[in-house]
Structure 1
Amino acid sequence: MAEYEARRTAVLLVDPYNDFISEGGKLWPRLHGVATEVGLLDNLRKVVAAGRAAGARVVFVPHRQWEEGDYEGWDHPNPTQRQMQQRHTFARGTWGGEFHPDLRPRAGDVVAKQHWGQSGFANTDLDLQLNQHGISHVIVIGVLANTCIESTGRFAMELGHHVTLVRDATAAYSAELMHAAHELNGPTYAHSITTTADLVRALDATR
Protein backbone atom coordinates (compact mmCIF):
# COMPACT_ATOMS: atom_id res chain seq x y z
CA MET A 1 0.00 0.00 0.00
CA ALA A 2 1.32 3.44 -0.89
CA GLU A 3 2.22 5.95 1.80
CA TYR A 4 0.90 9.49 1.53
CA GLU A 5 2.11 12.84 2.79
CA ALA A 6 -1.12 14.77 3.16
CA ARG A 7 0.15 18.18 2.05
CA ARG A 8 1.49 16.64 -1.18
CA THR A 9 -1.57 14.52 -1.91
CA ALA A 10 -4.72 15.39 -3.85
CA VAL A 11 -7.97 13.51 -4.30
CA LEU A 12 -9.05 14.09 -7.90
CA LEU A 13 -12.84 13.77 -8.01
CA VAL A 14 -13.78 13.34 -11.66
CA ASP A 15 -17.22 14.25 -13.08
CA PRO A 16 -19.46 13.85 -10.00
CA TYR A 17 -22.48 15.17 -11.91
CA ASN A 18 -26.08 14.27 -11.18
CA ASP A 19 -26.49 13.04 -14.76
CA PHE A 20 -23.89 10.37 -13.98
CA ILE A 21 -24.32 9.33 -10.37
CA SER A 22 -27.77 10.42 -9.17
CA GLU A 23 -31.10 8.64 -9.49
CA GLY A 24 -32.86 10.30 -12.41
CA GLY A 25 -29.65 11.31 -14.15
CA LYS A 26 -29.46 10.80 -17.90
CA LEU A 27 -26.60 8.30 -17.66
CA TRP A 28 -27.50 6.73 -14.32
CA PRO A 29 -29.45 3.82 -15.88
CA ARG A 30 -26.31 2.72 -17.72
CA LEU A 31 -24.10 3.09 -14.64
CA HIS A 32 -26.54 1.86 -12.02
CA GLY A 33 -25.63 -1.84 -12.06
CA VAL A 34 -21.89 -1.49 -11.52
CA ALA A 35 -22.20 1.60 -9.32
CA THR A 36 -24.59 -0.19 -6.98
CA GLU A 37 -22.48 -3.35 -6.89
CA VAL A 38 -19.30 -1.52 -5.85
CA GLY A 39 -21.04 0.96 -3.54
CA LEU A 40 -19.84 3.90 -5.61
CA LEU A 41 -21.58 6.77 -3.83
CA ASP A 42 -20.72 5.65 -0.31
CA ASN A 43 -17.11 5.07 -1.32
CA LEU A 44 -16.81 8.45 -3.02
CA ARG A 45 -18.08 10.07 0.15
CA LYS A 46 -15.62 8.07 2.28
CA VAL A 47 -12.57 8.87 0.16
CA VAL A 48 -13.37 12.58 -0.04
CA ALA A 49 -14.07 12.75 3.71
CA ALA A 50 -10.86 10.87 4.54
CA GLY A 51 -8.86 13.12 2.24
CA ARG A 52 -10.24 16.27 3.84
CA ALA A 53 -9.74 14.90 7.37
CA ALA A 54 -6.11 14.07 6.59
CA GLY A 55 -5.45 17.51 5.13
CA ALA A 56 -5.12 16.38 1.53
CA ARG A 57 -6.33 18.69 -1.24
CA VAL A 58 -9.67 17.83 -2.86
CA VAL A 59 -9.70 18.76 -6.54
CA PHE A 60 -12.82 18.65 -8.67
CA VAL A 61 -12.15 17.61 -12.26
CA PRO A 62 -15.36 18.40 -14.17
CA HIS A 63 -16.36 17.62 -17.72
CA ARG A 64 -17.55 20.35 -20.02
CA GLN A 65 -21.15 21.30 -19.24
CA TRP A 66 -23.06 21.18 -22.49
CA GLU A 67 -24.20 24.50 -23.94
CA GLU A 68 -26.15 25.34 -27.08
CA GLY A 69 -23.78 25.29 -30.05
CA ASP A 70 -21.19 22.97 -28.50
CA TYR A 71 -19.38 20.81 -31.09
CA GLU A 72 -21.19 22.40 -34.04
CA GLY A 73 -18.77 22.99 -36.89
CA TRP A 74 -16.08 20.78 -35.34
CA ASP A 75 -14.06 18.69 -37.79
CA HIS A 76 -14.14 15.51 -35.73
CA PRO A 77 -15.94 15.50 -32.38
CA ASN A 78 -15.46 12.16 -30.69
CA PRO A 79 -18.35 9.71 -30.15
CA THR A 80 -18.93 10.87 -26.56
CA GLN A 81 -19.11 14.48 -27.69
CA ARG A 82 -21.61 13.51 -30.38
CA GLN A 83 -23.73 11.84 -27.69
CA MET A 84 -23.51 14.93 -25.51
CA GLN A 85 -24.63 17.01 -28.45
CA GLN A 86 -27.69 14.78 -28.84
CA ARG A 87 -28.54 14.19 -25.17
CA HIS A 88 -27.40 17.53 -23.73
CA THR A 89 -25.57 15.66 -21.00
CA PHE A 90 -24.39 17.77 -18.03
CA ALA A 91 -26.19 20.77 -19.51
CA ARG A 92 -25.24 24.03 -17.86
CA GLY A 93 -28.02 25.46 -15.73
CA THR A 94 -29.79 22.12 -15.27
CA TRP A 95 -29.99 19.68 -12.36
CA GLY A 96 -28.11 17.07 -14.40
CA GLY A 97 -25.20 19.48 -14.85
CA GLU A 98 -24.83 20.09 -11.12
CA PHE A 99 -22.55 18.13 -8.81
CA HIS A 100 -24.17 15.46 -6.63
CA PRO A 101 -25.37 17.19 -3.43
CA ASP A 102 -23.01 15.14 -1.25
CA LEU A 103 -20.02 15.87 -3.48
CA ARG A 104 -19.80 19.62 -3.82
CA PRO A 105 -16.79 21.88 -3.36
CA ARG A 106 -16.01 23.33 0.04
CA ALA A 107 -13.71 26.13 1.10
CA GLY A 108 -10.13 25.13 0.29
CA ASP A 109 -11.07 22.74 -2.50
CA VAL A 110 -9.94 23.36 -6.07
CA VAL A 111 -12.25 23.24 -9.07
CA ALA A 112 -10.21 22.76 -12.24
CA LYS A 113 -11.32 24.15 -15.55
CA GLN A 114 -13.66 21.85 -17.43
CA HIS A 115 -12.25 19.24 -19.78
CA TRP A 116 -13.71 18.80 -23.27
CA GLY A 117 -12.51 15.26 -23.86
CA GLN A 118 -11.58 12.51 -21.40
CA SER A 119 -8.41 13.73 -19.73
CA GLY A 120 -8.78 16.19 -16.89
CA PHE A 121 -5.42 17.66 -17.89
CA ALA A 122 -5.82 18.35 -21.61
CA ASN A 123 -6.73 22.00 -22.27
CA THR A 124 -7.34 22.74 -18.58
CA ASP A 125 -5.43 24.26 -15.65
CA LEU A 126 -5.28 21.01 -13.64
CA ASP A 127 -1.50 20.59 -14.00
CA LEU A 128 -0.93 24.19 -12.96
CA GLN A 129 -3.19 23.82 -9.94
CA LEU A 130 -1.46 20.64 -8.77
CA ASN A 131 1.99 22.14 -9.20
CA GLN A 132 1.09 25.36 -7.41
CA HIS A 133 -0.26 23.37 -4.48
CA GLY A 134 2.86 21.18 -4.33
CA ILE A 135 1.05 17.96 -5.19
CA SER A 136 3.08 14.84 -6.00
CA HIS A 137 0.51 12.09 -5.33
CA VAL A 138 -2.95 11.94 -6.87
CA ILE A 139 -5.83 9.65 -5.93
CA VAL A 140 -8.20 9.43 -8.90
CA ILE A 141 -11.85 8.65 -8.21
CA GLY A 142 -15.20 9.24 -9.94
CA VAL A 143 -16.43 8.22 -13.37
CA LEU A 144 -16.01 6.61 -15.80
CA ALA A 145 -13.32 4.06 -14.93
CA ASN A 146 -12.35 3.26 -18.51
CA THR A 147 -12.53 6.79 -19.95
CA CYS A 148 -12.01 9.93 -17.86
CA ILE A 149 -10.47 8.13 -14.88
CA GLU A 150 -8.03 6.24 -17.06
CA SER A 151 -7.17 9.22 -19.25
CA THR A 152 -6.66 11.52 -16.27
CA GLY A 153 -4.63 8.96 -14.34
CA ARG A 154 -2.43 8.12 -17.30
CA PHE A 155 -1.80 11.79 -18.05
CA ALA A 156 -0.92 12.36 -14.38
CA MET A 157 1.66 9.58 -14.57
CA GLU A 158 3.18 11.10 -17.71
CA LEU A 159 3.55 14.40 -15.85
CA GLY A 160 5.46 12.68 -13.05
CA HIS A 161 2.78 12.19 -10.40
CA HIS A 162 2.31 9.10 -8.25
CA VAL A 163 -1.11 7.72 -9.23
CA THR A 164 -3.54 5.75 -7.08
CA LEU A 165 -6.67 4.13 -8.48
CA VAL A 166 -9.48 3.07 -6.14
CA ARG A 167 -11.35 0.06 -7.50
CA ASP A 168 -14.65 0.66 -5.72
CA ALA A 169 -14.66 4.47 -5.90
CA THR A 170 -15.24 4.47 -9.62
CA ALA A 171 -17.65 2.73 -11.97
CA ALA A 172 -18.22 1.94 -15.63
CA TYR A 173 -21.10 0.76 -17.79
CA SER A 174 -20.22 -2.94 -17.46
CA ALA A 175 -18.16 -5.42 -15.46
CA GLU A 176 -16.03 -6.00 -18.56
CA LEU A 177 -15.10 -2.33 -18.74
CA MET A 178 -14.23 -2.31 -15.04
CA HIS A 179 -12.02 -5.36 -15.55
CA ALA A 180 -10.22 -3.66 -18.43
CA ALA A 181 -9.75 -0.45 -16.45
CA HIS A 182 -8.35 -2.05 -13.31
CA GLU A 183 -6.83 -5.37 -14.33
CA LEU A 184 -5.52 -4.72 -17.85
CA ASN A 185 -4.89 -1.01 -18.30
CA GLY A 186 -4.53 0.29 -14.74
CA PRO A 187 -1.29 -1.61 -14.00
CA THR A 188 0.39 0.02 -17.00
CA TYR A 189 0.33 3.48 -15.41
CA ALA A 190 -0.95 3.41 -11.81
CA HIS A 191 1.51 3.06 -8.95
CA SER A 192 -1.16 1.74 -6.60
CA ILE A 193 -4.54 0.09 -7.22
CA THR A 194 -6.45 -0.29 -3.98
CA THR A 195 -9.83 -0.30 -2.26
CA THR A 196 -11.63 2.42 -0.38
CA ALA A 197 -11.16 0.66 2.96
CA ASP A 198 -7.40 0.30 2.52
CA LEU A 199 -7.02 3.84 1.21
CA VAL A 200 -8.95 5.33 4.11
CA ARG A 201 -6.68 3.48 6.55
CA ALA A 202 -3.62 4.82 4.75
CA LEU A 203 -4.94 8.37 4.82
CA ASP A 204 -5.91 8.06 8.48
CA ALA A 205 -2.32 7.07 9.21
CA THR A 206 -1.11 10.45 7.99
CA ARG A 207 -3.06 12.36 10.62
Structure 2
Amino acid sequence: MSNALYPRERTAYLLVDPYNDFLSEGGKIYPFIKPIAEQVDLLDNLRALDQAVRALGIQVVIVPHRRWEQGDYENWDHPNPNQCKIMHGHQFARGEWGGEWHPDFAPRDGDIVAQEHWGSSGFANTDLDFRLKQKGITHVIIVGLLANTCIEATARYASELGYHVTLVRDATAAFRPEMMHAAHELNGPTFAHSIVTTDELIASLTRQ
Protein backbone atom coordinates (compact mmCIF):
# COMPACT_ATOMS: atom_id res chain seq x y z
CA MET A 1 0.00 0.00 0.00
CA SER A 2 1.29 3.44 -0.89
CA ASN A 3 1.65 6.03 1.84
CA ALA A 4 1.82 8.83 -0.71
CA LEU A 5 -0.56 11.75 -0.36
CA TYR A 6 -2.16 13.20 -3.46
CA PRO A 7 -3.43 16.77 -3.09
CA ARG A 8 -6.31 16.73 -5.52
CA GLU A 9 -5.83 20.25 -6.86
CA ARG A 10 -2.13 19.57 -7.51
CA THR A 11 -2.34 16.03 -8.90
CA ALA A 12 -2.67 15.06 -12.56
CA TYR A 13 -3.47 11.69 -14.10
CA LEU A 14 -1.35 11.21 -17.24
CA LEU A 15 -2.73 8.68 -19.70
CA VAL A 16 -0.08 7.92 -22.31
CA ASP A 17 -0.95 6.82 -25.86
CA PRO A 18 -4.57 5.60 -25.50
CA TYR A 19 -4.83 4.73 -29.19
CA ASN A 20 -6.75 1.89 -30.83
CA ASP A 21 -3.50 0.49 -32.18
CA PHE A 22 -2.41 -0.12 -28.58
CA LEU A 23 -5.63 -0.92 -26.74
CA SER A 24 -8.18 -2.34 -29.17
CA GLU A 25 -8.64 -5.73 -30.79
CA GLY A 26 -7.45 -5.28 -34.36
CA GLY A 27 -4.88 -2.67 -33.38
CA LYS A 28 -1.44 -3.02 -34.91
CA ILE A 29 0.36 -3.31 -31.56
CA TYR A 30 -2.35 -4.83 -29.37
CA PRO A 31 -1.54 -8.47 -30.30
CA PHE A 32 1.98 -8.00 -28.94
CA ILE A 33 0.83 -6.67 -25.57
CA LYS A 34 -2.37 -8.71 -25.29
CA PRO A 35 -0.97 -11.55 -23.11
CA ILE A 36 0.34 -9.16 -20.47
CA ALA A 37 -2.58 -6.77 -20.86
CA GLU A 38 -4.98 -9.61 -20.10
CA GLN A 39 -2.80 -10.95 -17.30
CA VAL A 40 -2.80 -7.62 -15.44
CA ASP A 41 -6.38 -6.73 -16.48
CA LEU A 42 -5.12 -3.56 -18.13
CA LEU A 43 -8.30 -2.29 -19.75
CA ASP A 44 -10.52 -2.76 -16.70
CA ASN A 45 -7.88 -1.15 -14.48
CA LEU A 46 -7.64 1.85 -16.80
CA ARG A 47 -11.43 2.12 -16.74
CA ALA A 48 -11.47 1.97 -12.95
CA LEU A 49 -8.77 4.60 -12.65
CA ASP A 50 -10.47 6.87 -15.17
CA GLN A 51 -13.71 6.69 -13.20
CA ALA A 52 -11.97 7.26 -9.86
CA VAL A 53 -9.85 10.24 -10.83
CA ARG A 54 -12.72 11.95 -12.62
CA ALA A 55 -15.02 11.45 -9.64
CA LEU A 56 -12.40 13.07 -7.42
CA GLY A 57 -11.85 16.02 -9.74
CA ILE A 58 -8.24 15.12 -10.51
CA GLN A 59 -6.92 16.66 -13.73
CA VAL A 60 -6.83 14.18 -16.61
CA VAL A 61 -4.07 14.67 -19.17
CA ILE A 62 -3.80 12.77 -22.44
CA VAL A 63 -0.16 12.33 -23.46
CA PRO A 64 -0.24 11.19 -27.10
CA HIS A 65 2.46 9.82 -29.33
CA ARG A 66 3.03 11.44 -32.71
CA ARG A 67 0.46 10.15 -35.17
CA TRP A 68 2.34 8.85 -38.18
CA GLU A 69 2.03 10.85 -41.39
CA GLN A 70 3.52 10.21 -44.81
CA GLY A 71 7.17 11.21 -44.82
CA ASP A 72 7.69 11.08 -41.05
CA TYR A 73 11.29 10.18 -40.08
CA GLU A 74 12.35 9.42 -43.66
CA ASN A 75 14.88 12.24 -43.99
CA TRP A 76 15.98 12.34 -40.35
CA ASP A 77 19.68 12.11 -39.58
CA HIS A 78 19.26 9.37 -36.99
CA PRO A 79 15.73 8.20 -36.14
CA ASN A 80 15.79 5.88 -33.15
CA PRO A 81 14.78 2.19 -33.37
CA ASN A 82 11.18 2.81 -32.32
CA GLN A 83 10.82 5.64 -34.82
CA CYS A 84 12.15 3.36 -37.55
CA LYS A 85 9.50 0.79 -36.62
CA ILE A 86 6.79 3.43 -36.89
CA MET A 87 8.22 4.69 -40.18
CA HIS A 88 7.81 1.22 -41.67
CA GLY A 89 4.76 -0.01 -39.75
CA HIS A 90 2.68 3.19 -39.74
CA GLN A 91 1.41 2.72 -36.20
CA PHE A 92 -0.94 5.43 -34.90
CA ALA A 93 -1.49 6.74 -38.42
CA ARG A 94 -3.26 10.07 -38.54
CA GLY A 95 -6.70 9.78 -40.10
CA GLU A 96 -6.86 6.02 -39.64
CA TRP A 97 -8.73 3.96 -37.02
CA GLY A 98 -5.51 2.86 -35.33
CA GLY A 99 -4.56 6.46 -34.65
CA GLU A 100 -7.91 7.28 -33.06
CA TRP A 101 -8.55 7.21 -29.32
CA HIS A 102 -9.80 4.00 -27.77
CA PRO A 103 -13.48 4.91 -27.22
CA ASP A 104 -13.31 4.37 -23.46
CA PHE A 105 -10.40 6.77 -23.04
CA ALA A 106 -11.10 9.61 -25.44
CA PRO A 107 -10.56 13.13 -24.04
CA ARG A 108 -13.50 14.84 -22.37
CA ASP A 109 -14.28 18.46 -21.65
CA GLY A 110 -11.75 19.82 -19.18
CA ASP A 111 -9.03 17.32 -20.06
CA ILE A 112 -5.63 18.52 -21.21
CA VAL A 113 -4.35 17.03 -24.46
CA ALA A 114 -0.61 17.62 -24.66
CA GLN A 115 1.28 18.07 -27.88
CA GLU A 116 2.23 14.79 -29.52
CA HIS A 117 5.65 13.43 -28.56
CA TRP A 118 8.03 12.25 -31.27
CA GLY A 119 10.12 10.00 -29.06
CA SER A 120 9.30 8.14 -25.85
CA SER A 121 9.01 10.97 -23.33
CA GLY A 122 5.75 12.87 -23.17
CA PHE A 123 7.72 15.89 -21.94
CA ALA A 124 10.49 16.13 -24.54
CA ASN A 125 9.75 18.76 -27.20
CA THR A 126 6.10 19.17 -26.11
CA ASP A 127 4.08 21.59 -23.99
CA LEU A 128 3.29 19.05 -21.26
CA ASP A 129 5.46 20.58 -18.53
CA PHE A 130 4.17 24.06 -19.32
CA ARG A 131 0.53 22.94 -19.25
CA LEU A 132 0.98 21.13 -15.93
CA LYS A 133 2.74 24.07 -14.31
CA GLN A 134 -0.06 26.40 -15.41
CA LYS A 135 -2.39 24.20 -13.38
CA GLY A 136 -0.08 24.15 -10.37
CA ILE A 137 0.48 20.41 -10.71
CA THR A 138 3.17 18.87 -8.52
CA HIS A 139 2.14 15.17 -8.50
CA VAL A 140 1.72 12.98 -11.58
CA ILE A 141 0.23 9.50 -11.88
CA ILE A 142 1.48 7.97 -15.13
CA VAL A 143 -0.33 5.08 -16.86
CA GLY A 144 -0.72 3.74 -20.37
CA LEU A 145 1.78 2.25 -22.79
CA LEU A 146 4.39 0.91 -22.98
CA ALA A 147 5.78 0.25 -19.49
CA ASN A 148 9.45 0.16 -20.49
CA THR A 149 9.38 2.85 -23.18
CA CYS A 150 6.98 5.80 -23.10
CA ILE A 151 5.85 5.28 -19.50
CA GLU A 152 9.38 4.95 -18.17
CA ALA A 153 10.75 7.81 -20.28
CA THR A 154 7.89 10.14 -19.34
CA ALA A 155 8.16 9.25 -15.66
CA ARG A 156 11.93 9.68 -15.59
CA TYR A 157 11.61 13.09 -17.22
CA ALA A 158 8.89 14.06 -14.76
CA SER A 159 11.14 13.14 -11.86
CA GLU A 160 13.97 15.19 -13.31
CA LEU A 161 11.60 18.17 -13.58
CA GLY A 162 10.73 17.88 -9.91
CA TYR A 163 7.33 16.18 -10.02
CA HIS A 164 6.23 13.55 -7.52
CA VAL A 165 5.90 10.45 -9.72
CA THR A 166 3.60 7.45 -9.29
CA LEU A 167 3.70 4.35 -11.49
CA VAL A 168 0.85 1.84 -11.55
CA ARG A 169 1.98 -1.74 -12.11
CA ASP A 170 -1.23 -3.09 -13.60
CA ALA A 171 -2.27 -0.01 -15.59
CA THR A 172 0.37 -0.59 -18.24
CA ALA A 173 1.73 -3.44 -20.34
CA ALA A 174 4.75 -4.45 -22.40
CA PHE A 175 5.78 -7.00 -24.99
CA ARG A 176 7.44 -9.39 -22.54
CA PRO A 177 7.30 -10.15 -18.80
CA GLU A 178 10.95 -9.23 -18.33
CA MET A 179 10.19 -5.75 -19.67
CA MET A 180 7.48 -5.33 -17.04
CA HIS A 181 9.86 -6.61 -14.39
CA ALA A 182 12.57 -4.17 -15.44
CA ALA A 183 10.13 -1.27 -15.51
CA HIS A 184 8.74 -1.85 -12.01
CA GLU A 185 11.36 -3.79 -10.08
CA LEU A 186 14.68 -2.58 -11.48
CA ASN A 187 14.32 0.81 -13.11
CA GLY A 188 11.19 2.32 -11.59
CA PRO A 189 12.50 2.33 -8.01
CA THR A 190 15.40 4.56 -9.07
CA PHE A 191 13.15 7.51 -9.99
CA ALA A 192 9.51 6.89 -8.98
CA HIS A 193 8.28 8.04 -5.59
CA SER A 194 5.55 5.41 -5.51
CA ILE A 195 4.89 2.18 -7.43
CA VAL A 196 1.46 0.73 -6.71
CA THR A 197 -1.39 -1.36 -8.05
CA THR A 198 -4.66 0.10 -9.28
CA ASP A 199 -6.48 -0.98 -6.13
CA GLU A 200 -3.80 0.50 -3.89
CA LEU A 201 -3.84 3.79 -5.76
CA ILE A 202 -7.62 4.14 -5.70
CA ALA A 203 -7.60 3.38 -1.97
CA SER A 204 -4.97 6.07 -1.41
CA LEU A 205 -6.87 8.62 -3.47
CA THR A 206 -10.25 8.03 -1.90
CA ARG A 207 -9.13 7.97 1.74
CA GLN A 208 -7.66 11.46 1.58
Which residue among 113, 117, 120 is the counterpart of 1:118?
120
The answer for unaligned runs of 5 or more in structure 1 is: none
**Letter of the aligned partner of 1:21 in structure 2?**
L
1:37 deviates by 0.2
1:205 deviates by 2.1
Which residue among 136, 149, 162 is the counterpart of 1:160?
162
**Runs in 1 of length 4+ with deviation above 2 angstroms?**
none
1:104 aligns with 2:86: no
Is the partner of 2:202 in helix, strand or coil?
helix
Q: Distance in 1 between matches of 2:162 and 2:37?
A: 30
Task: Tell me how many residue pairs correspond in the alignment.
Answer: 206
Q: Specify the alignment match of 1:85 in structure 2.
A: 87
Query: Equivalent residues in 2 for 1:20-99 (5 A)?
Result: 20-99=22-101
**Letter of the aligned partner of 1:95 in structure 2?**
W
Q: Distance in 2 between matches of 1:29 and 1:104?
A: 21
Q: Specify the alignment match of 1:15 in structure 2.
A: 17
Is the partner of 2:94 in helix, strand or coil?
coil
Q: Distance in 2 between matches of 1:139 and 1:192?
A: 9
Q: Specify the alignment match of 1:134 in structure 2.
A: 136
Query: Equivalent residues in 2 for 1:172-187 (5 A)?
Result: 172-187=174-189
- TM-score, normalised to structure 2, is 0.98
1:102 deviates by 0.2
Is the partner of 1:185 in helix, strand or coil?
helix
Root-mean-square deviation (Å)? 0.6
Q: Distance in 1 between matches of 2:47 and 2:205?
A: 14
- TM-score, normalised to structure 1, is 0.98
Q: Distance in 2 between matches of 1:38 and 1:31?
A: 11
1:45 deviates by 1.1
Q: Distance in 1 between matches of 2:55 and 2:6?
A: 13
Is the partner of 2:65 in helix, strand or coil?
coil
**Letter of the aligned partner of 1:176 in structure 2?**
E
Is the partner of 1:89 in helix, strand or coil?
coil
1:60 deviates by 0.2
1:123 deviates by 0.3
Q: Specify the alignment match of 1:204 in structure 2.
A: 206
Q: Distance in 1 between matches of 2:206 and 2:50?
A: 12
Is the partner of 1:59 in helix, strand or coil?
strand
Q: Distance in 2 between matches of 1:203 and 1:129?
A: 23
Is the partner of 2:104 in helix, strand or coil?
coil
Give me the identity figure in percent.
Answer: 65
Q: Specify the alignment match of 2:195 in structure 1.
A: 193
Which segment drifts farther, 196-205 or 22-31? Answer: 196-205
Is the partner of 2:105 in helix, strand or coil?
coil
Q: Distance in 2 between matches of 1:54 and 1:157?
A: 24
Q: Distance in 1 between matches of 2:205 and 2:6?
A: 7
